[in-house]
Amino acid sequence: MKKTIWIATSNAHKVEEFQTMLKDCDVKCLKDLDHTIHIIEDGTTFEENALIKARTLFNELHEPVISDDSGLEVDAMDKKPGVYSARFLGEDTSYDIKNQYIIDQVQGKVRTARYVCVIAYIDEDGKEHVYRGECEGLIHDKLEGENGFGYDPIFYYPAFKTTLANVSEEKKNSVSHRGIALEKFLKDWSK
């Protein structure tokens, strides 16, 4: 029988990535609840926000849960958008606009950036675990690629010689911030 794991998100893209990477698990998310819970992400770090989400869902279910908080840190922008990546320039602003804004901000500056993902896991006993993954890259000078989501079309990964939006999901997951954090989590989960 598959283990069930709840993920404190309703983001369809994140759920899809987790389902792909946790293929031996029954992955459930906030949309699978019979009621709505509101999670207020008011932390100032990825770790704080991941734990806020996990604690909120754990307190509802009292079952093992994971959550992630992730985002893009651009060095030329003082590591912004950071924990505000999803809300950067407004939650309803399209990523095409957000991506172009970042490209414009790094013109003539250092283009180094990283994706950061922190996964918080609360086990059936309520014990908290935190796993951090980072993926280093550069801000590309244009949008490139149709795969992925969010900032992937401008996140140039030097080893691939292209953006993360220009490779398969499997290839992206092999180096992604979420993939790295998830690999660390899976070592504990499989014990």
pLDDT of residue 18: 82
> Is 11 marked as binding a ligand?
yes
Based on C-alpha coordinates, what's the Rg of the chain?
17
Known binder of ligand: residue 152? yes
Q: Which percentage of the chain shows pLDDT scores above 90?
A: 71
Query: What would the pLDDT profile of 7-65 be if each residue is shown by its tens digit?
Result: 999 888 788 878 887 888 888 999 999 888 989 889 999 999 999 999 999 999 999 99
pLDDT in tens, 103-138: 999 999 999 999 999 999 999 899 999 999 999 999
SS3 (DSSP) at 170 = helix
Residues assigned a catalytic role? 69
Neighbours of 180 (CB within 10 A): 21
CA distance 101 to 191: 44
Contacts of 24 (CB under 8 A, 6+ apart): 2, 3
For residue 190, pLDDT beyond 70: no
Show me where the domains of the chain are located: 3-189
Q: Does domain 3-189 have CATH number 3.90.950.10?
A: yes
> Is 178 annotated as contributing to ligand binding?
yes
The answer to whether 87 is annotated as binding is no
**Long-range contacts, stretch 162-170, CB < 8 angstroms, 24+ apart:** 164/137, 169/17, 169/20, 170/20
